[in-house]
Copies of this chain bind each other. A is one copy, B any other.
Amino acid sequence: MERTPQVVSLLLKNLPDGWIYQNEGGDTWTAFDIVGHYIHGEKTDWIPRMNIILCESDKRFVPFDRFAQFRESEGKTISQLLDEFAALRKENINKLKAVKLDEETLNKKGIHPQFGEVSLKELLSSWVVHDLTHINQITRVMARQYDEAVGPWKAYMGILNR
């Protein structure tokens, strides 16, 4: 998880706009939107929810806004977003390292607005998978920009046929 901002930066930094601002059609997300979504997660999801589980008496999570990035990323460049994500993630990893994650702590619970009771262990595992999910999505959004350019190879590219 410490490396995720680097991976995302390597995939996206200093590329022509076409790679950054194209989506997969309809109201799907662009790479730019996805980085904004990572940032909003750092600010309001994973570590804030850990703190609710560990420190607060009201264990109910604040609902996560899946569309906040459309507002919050406005006027920023992809390069600014990538730097912001890297800085926030670094802070959050430090906060995570400051907690002693033994079995008892990992089994503590919070209340998810849809799922009800969830453990810290599930929250932190989901953070890892969430990182991977959106790297996965970024590579798919990028690949689709070459949907036609690959010609007959499209048949071999699972990423273009989902």
Contact = CB atoms under 8 A, between A and B. Distances in A.
Interface in A114-162: 114-116, 118-119, 121-122, 125-126, 128-130, 132-133, 135-137, 139-140, 142-143, 146, 149-153, 155-160, 162
A3 interface: yes
> Which of A137, A150, A152 has the most C-beta atoms of chain B within 10 angstroms of its own C-beta?
A150
Contacts of A159: 129, 132-133, 136
| Range for the number of chain A residues in contact with chain B | 35 or more
A121 B151 CA distance: 9
Contact of A158 (B115, B133, B146, B152): B133
B132 A150 contact: no
A123 B6 CA distance: 29
A146 B119 contact: no
Given A118-B152, A129-B150, 9 more contacts: A3-B11, A116-B152, A125-B150, A126-B153, A128-B146, A129-B143, A132-B140, A136-B139, A136-B143
For the complex of A and B, list the 10 residue pairs with the smallest distance between their C-beta atoms, beginning with the closest: A122-B151, A125-B149, A115-B152, A126-B153, A132-B143, A136-B139, A132-B139, A126-B150, A133-B159, A3-B10
Interface of A: 3, 6-7, 10-11, 112, 114-116, 118-119, 121-122, 125-126, 128-130, 132-133, 135-137, 139-140, 142-143, 146, 149-153, 155-160, 162
